Structure 1
Amino acid sequence: MSLTKQTIKILIVDDQTTSRLLMRDALQQIGFANIPFAKDGEEALKMMMSSPAHIVVSDYNMPKLNGLQLLQAIRTYPATRITPFILLTGSGDREVLQRAIKLGVNNYLPKPVQPAALQKAIQAVTGNLP
């Protein structure tokens, strides 16, 4: 099966409900439909192990597993090792960004996330999907 905007799965991981909903709305505006949520890194990791997403968009600052811990865990498993990962953070901390780059993050966006920036980051990963 070839991937389309209707079939590609984009997992949004954020402990703030409002942020999850805003990101989902921004992705739906450009045609994506399969957008599950996780409220923390631990829940996201369980979801990735049972039914991996094609792309992960994760907040950094969350309970249980933070965004970097989630990224590191995802990069450990062969089935998810190359899954595109976009990290979101409000801290602007250079050390967090440097650690994320070392762990293989694909993109980094500051919070609050602007819908156009999220859309552009996802399209950079997916290309021109139908």
Structure 2
Amino acid sequence: MALRDQIRIMVVDDMSTSRGLITQALDSMGIRQVGIASDGPGALGAIEKTPVHLVISDYNMPGMDGLQLLHSLRTNPKTKGLGFILITGRADKEIIDTGRKLGMNNFLKKPFTPQELRACIEAVVGRL
């Protein structure tokens, strides 16, 4: 069975358009087990109920940004080993450096193509 048939991914973004674009791209890659959340606390609750292998999160979200979500995942023994990709419109060195310190596996700058998303995911989990 291919990795794409087994992997479970959580997409976290407060913008429904962005969530839709990412989930469409994942679907076109053959990834069917995709959860979505519109904010960090919602993602944490969903992951608690249904564990995932990889979180793809927007950086800029109200309440809890992508780096705060990453920190919450890394400080919980149950979720500290999850793959984490941060998506940001402003790939500032400070954001990327902080993400790396917190244990981010990869990042992607908006706008991006489905091919760039796939390469970003494969760099974290292996060939789909």
Give distance in 1, aligned partners of 2:98 and 2:120: 20
Structure having the higher strand fraction is 2
Give distance in 1, aligned partners of 2:90 and 2:17: 18
Matching residue of 1:119:
118
Q: 1:14-33 to 2 correspondence within 5 Å? A: 14-33=13-32
Q: In the alignment, residue 61 of structure 2 is paired with which amino acid?
A: M
Contact 1:60 1:87 in 2 (8 A): yes
How many residue pairs match? The answer is 128
Q: Which runs of 5+ in 2 are unaligned?
A: none
1:14-50 C-alpha deviation (Å, 9 max, x unpaired)? 0111111111111111110011100011111111222
Superposed CA RMSD in Å reads 1.5
Q: Secondary structure at the match of 2:43?
A: helix
Give distance in 1, aligned partners of 2:10 and 2:112: 16
Contact 2:7 2:33 in 1 (8 A): yes
Q: CA deviation at 1:3?
A: 7.3
TM-score w.r.t. structure 2 length? Answer: 0.92
Q: 1:47-58 to 2 correspondence within 5 Å? A: 47-58=46-57
Q: Which runs of 5+ in 1 are unaligned?
A: none
TM-score w.r.t. structure 1 length? Answer: 0.91
Matching residue of 2:82:
83
Q: CA deviation at 1:119?
A: 0.8
Give distance in 2, aligned partners of 1:69 and 1:28: 27
